[in-house]
Amino acid sequence: MSTLVSGFSKLSKTEKINWLINNYLSDFKDAENILKQYWNTDNKLQQLHDEFIENTITNYYLPLGIAPNFVINDKVYAIPMTIEESSVVAAASKAAKFWQTRGGFKTKVLSTTKIGQVHFTYKGDFNKLQHFFNRVKSQLITDAKSITKNMEKRGGGILDIQLKNKTDKLNHYYQLHATFETLDAMGANFINSCLEQFSKTFKAEAETSLPQPVNIIMSILSNYVPNCLVRAEVSCKVEDLVDKDINPQLFAEKFVQAVNIAEVEPYRAVTHNKGIMNGIDAVVLATGNDFRAVEAGVHAYAAKDGQYSSLTHAKIENGVFYFWMEIPLALGTVGGLTSLHPLVKLALEILGKPNAKDLMQIVAVAGLAQNFGALRSLTTTGIQEGHMKMHLMNILNQFEATATEKEQIVNHFKTNVVTHSAVVKAIEKLRR
């Protein structure tokens, strides 16, 4: 029976595993070997991984794939993607190949402003609070100079601080709403350090200047970055969309209609945008960035007009097909895992050592390509045909198929529809 534990963090890795096996995995065959087989034989590298997080017991591997042939602003890229889902890398690669002969992807960074807030309550007169803020604002920036000086040398820093009255939403609630430029850093630690200094100065100055106390609730950056925007797009004449047996005009019209549906129907929009994030998350993860922060910010942006909607848009105008997306991405190429994880360093090298703006554009293209690939399949052959062929190997591995069995079954499904039940029948028939 499992028990509570005290001082777990102080146990060695082996002791942690023994405790876990004794309390939770006693009936799980070969648990210790499964955990230890993922340890790196290079002790220095393993220690590096152990120290990324707390209470480490092993490494959790995800595949790192490459989607080649991306032409972005007339430059060729091979994009590293870290993801566990089959068909994502294949779909991105197929979309890249499709557009490389049709002008490629065009991108532009629209803005790079990031946001942080000091949340506080004040029960006194707002006009007095506003007057106090106007007087102390320059002091807030001055007192943070020790934090901002290096960022300022590189051209970044604090852009502005505003006092926001939120009492219509919550009694006595106000914000110091600050905007930042963090250049090639994602900037979370920088922003949070600045905010905490703002709160100290603001509270200290308020004690001698305001009749009512300022109660600081918290100081924290926002992962909603609607002013850290990048645009990615593709376009070509409708007649140039011809590919295999596809009627280009019919394809373009169905494609635009599919996007229109995602713009007005939230049930469809969620799945539509999930496909976009397949591409985005995979590159964000491969480059050592925070995909959870990106996800939260992107989905908030998708609901910015009051209803959750498509992130991508499409139209046909004067015989030209246009497909584009504007998306908020707060990314970094310095700091954090970008300077620690060997595979992250390698991924950034593959991308040509991009700065943060370059990476924003590459990541946005991966998302747009993924969405194009998904919609192309959905409006033509259907998504399952291609997806299930890519998923075939996962099913075979579940049944521990041998190399010979895999070869025979893969050949069989080159001309047959892949479903889970069909694969099971094929394996059973082969083994009989």
Report, as residue numbers or ranges, the catalytic residues.
85, 274, 290, 387
> One-letter amino acid identity for 336?
G
Strands of the 157-165 sheet, one edge to the other: 157-165, 173-181, 114-121, 215-221
Query: Are the CB atoms for 280 and 369 separated by under 8 Å?
Result: no
Task: Give the list of residues 6+ apart from residue 61 with CB closer than 8 angstroms, or none.
Answer: 38
Q: Which residues pair with 358 in a beta bridge?
A: none
- Nearest CA to 215 out of 171, 179, 161 is that of 171
> One-letter amino acid identity for 217?
I
Strands 320-328 and 229-237: antiparallel
User: What burial letters (b/e) apply to 332-358, b meaning 16+ CB within 10 Å?
Assistant: bbbbbbbeebeebbebbeebeebebbb
Q: If you ran DSSP here, which 8-state letter would residue 310 be given?
A: -
How far is residue 2's CA from residue 66's CA, in Å, rounded to a whole number?
Answer: 43
Query: Are the CB atoms for 374 and 258 separated by under 8 Å?
Result: no
End-to-end CA distance of the chain: 43
Within 10 angstroms of residue 253's Cβ, the number of other Cβ atoms is 15
DSSP states along 161-217: EEEEE-TTTSTTEEEEEEEEE-TTB--HHHHHHHHHHHHHHHHHHHHHH-SS--EEE
Query: Are the CB atoms for 376 and 402 separated by under 8 Å?
Result: no
- Nearest CA to 176 out of 199, 193, 204 is that of 199
